[in-house]
Homo-oligomer: A and B are copies of this chain.
Amino acid sequence: MDGHHQFDIDTQARHVSGEGDRQRWAVTLGSGWNIGDKPNGGYILAAIAEVLGQAVRRSGAPQHPHPLTITGHYLRPSTSGQAKLDVQILRTGRTFTTVHSTFVQGDKPRLHVLATYGDLASQRGPTLQTAVPPELPPPDECISRKDTDGFPPDSSMGAQVDVRLHPDTGWLTGTPRGVGESRAWIRFADGRPADPVALLFFADALPPTVFDVLAERTWVPTVEFTVHVRAQPAPGWIRAVTRTRHLVDGRFEEDGELWDSEGRLVAMSRQLAMVMQGG
A71/B226 in contact, CB under 8 A: yes
- Residue A84 lies at the interface, judged by CB distance under 8 Å to chain B: no
Q: Is the interface of A mostly helix, strand, loop or mixed?
A: strand
- Residue A189 lies at the interface, judged by CB distance under 8 Å to chain B: no
Taking CB as reference atom, which chain B residue is nearest A93? B75
In the assembled complex, the Cα of A131 lies from the Cα of B253 at a distance in Å of 12
- Residue A130 lies at the interface, judged by CB distance under 8 Å to chain B: yes
Residues of A in contact (CB 8 Å), total: 55
Q: Chain copies in the assembly?
A: 2
Taking CB as reference atom, which chain B residue is nearest A176? B128
246-262 of chain A: CB within 8 A of chain B: 246-251, 253
In the assembled complex, the Cα of A124 lies from the Cα of B126 at a distance in Å of 44
178-225 of chain A: CB within 8 A of chain B: 178-180, 213-214, 223-224
With A75-B90, A230-B251, A231-B249 known to touch, is A224 a contact of B69 (CB < 8 Å)? yes
Q: How far is the CB of A72 from chain B (nearest CB, A)?
A: 9
Q: Give chain B residues whose Cβ lies under 8 Å from the Cβ of A228.
A: 224, 253, 270, 272
CB < 8 Å: which of B116, B213, B270 contacts A73?
B116
- Residue A129 lies at the interface, judged by CB distance under 8 Å to chain B: yes
What 0/1 pattern do residues 256 to 279 of A give for CB contact below 8 A with B?
Answer: 000000001100101010110100
A91/B68 in contact, CB under 8 A: no
- Residue A127 lies at the interface, judged by CB distance under 8 Å to chain B: yes
B69/A90 in contact, CB under 8 A: no
- Residue A114 lies at the interface, judged by CB distance under 8 Å to chain B: yes
In the assembled complex, the Cα of A259 lies from the Cα of B226 at a distance in Å of 22
**Nearest 9 Cβ contacts at the A-B interface:** A125-B250, A123-B249, A131-B245, A69-B224, A71-B71, A128-B247, A114-B114, A128-B213, A75-B91
